[in-house]
Copies of this chain bind each other. A is one copy, B any other.
Amino acid sequence: MSRTQRQELDARLRHAPQPSAPATIEEMRAGFAALMATFPLRADVTRTPATLAERPAVIVEPAARTAGPGTILYFHGGSFALGSPDTAMALTADLVARAGVRAISLDYRLAPEHPFPAAIEDCVRAYAALLEGGSDPSQIVFAGDSAGGGLSVTTCLAARDAGLPMPAGVVAFSPGLDHTRTGTSMRTKEEADPFFTMAGMEQTGRLYLAGQDPRQPLLVPAVLADLSGLPPLLLQVGTHEMLLDDAVRLAERARAAEVDVILDVTAGVPHVFQAYAGTLEEADQALDRAALFIRQRLASGA
């Protein structure tokens, strides 16, 4: 039974050996890459290195493009300071295979070398490059996890403000949407969250902010951004997450802005639980719901 799977996963995460605090950003990146490499990569996708708007990227193709010629523009997680298309590849590939549509996963610039708003600039440029290359915006869906889930939303906002057309939809897994960390779940879920701590979030947050005032719409989209005109949103989040209220508050304000929004909450699962597909039934089912959402968004624009 899946209730058991949720509890086993929680116990496993809590009893994982805790490495000593890494001293450098390079050590943090290596540790994150090693952690993410433990997630098995499915064999039925092909990966091709590419360049998009002068940034490295990886094109991820399903065995069968059952959803037609659309594109998922994917943004990996890693607190804006860690990660790459490779660290999110198992999850990206799983989404691609289920949706039957290719993804392009962008290697956007990271903090501290490149603080806010470098990542968003790269993501908007990548989207603009797809449009300039002839892609119809109705055939593009943004998706991302964690910090990348946040980028899937802020890239829409920045693209809209730059006069670009909106993509067909946004899928955000456990998005980070508030650099002021004011969500109630930041306190109420700190015990339940097996991954994050307030101290850890503040550490990576400082790298991304680099002394800038966080009270800006692109740093706090869950609270400060004008969401009008955004395409349909699918937000998936677990209740064992300090970031729960980031998604909850964005959904609330999206409804008020007359934006279609699905707030899909799974109880008792951690941050980006979709990564546990294959061992956690809720993960497989959440990814299948995300795949249906993507196919529906691409079909609406076809």
- Tell whether A261 pairs with B265 under 8 Å between CB atoms, given A292-B292, A300-B2, A300-B285: yes
Known: A289-B292, A296-B285. A267 touches B259 (CB 8 A): yes
Is there an interface contact between B263 and A258, defined as CB atoms closer than 8 Å? no
Please provide the chain A residues from 241 to 286 with a CB less than 8 Å away from any CB of chain B in the complex: 244, 248, 251-252, 254-255, 258-268, 281-282, 285
Copies of this polypeptide in the complex: 2
Q: Return 19 A-B CB contacts under 8 Å, by A number.
A: A2-B300, A244-B255, A248-B255, A254-B265, A258-B267, A258-B268, A260-B265, A260-B266, A262-B262, A262-B265, A263-B263, A263-B265, A281-B300, A285-B296, A285-B300, A288-B292, A288-B296, A289-B292, A289-B293
- Contacts from A to B (Cβ < 8 Å): 2, 239, 244, 248, 251-252, 254-255, 258-268, 281-282, 285, 288-289, 292-293, 296, 300
Closest chain B residue to A281, Cβ basis? B300
A263 contact set on B, CB distance < 8 A = 251, 262-263, 265
Please report the C-alpha to C-alpha distance between residue A289 and residue B285 in the assembled complex, in whole angstroms: 12
Chain B residues, CB < 8 A from A254 = 265
From B2, B239, B261, A255 is in contact (CB under 8 Å) with B239
The residues of B that contact A258 with a CB separation of less than 8 Å are 239, 267-268
A239 to B261, CA, bound (A): 10
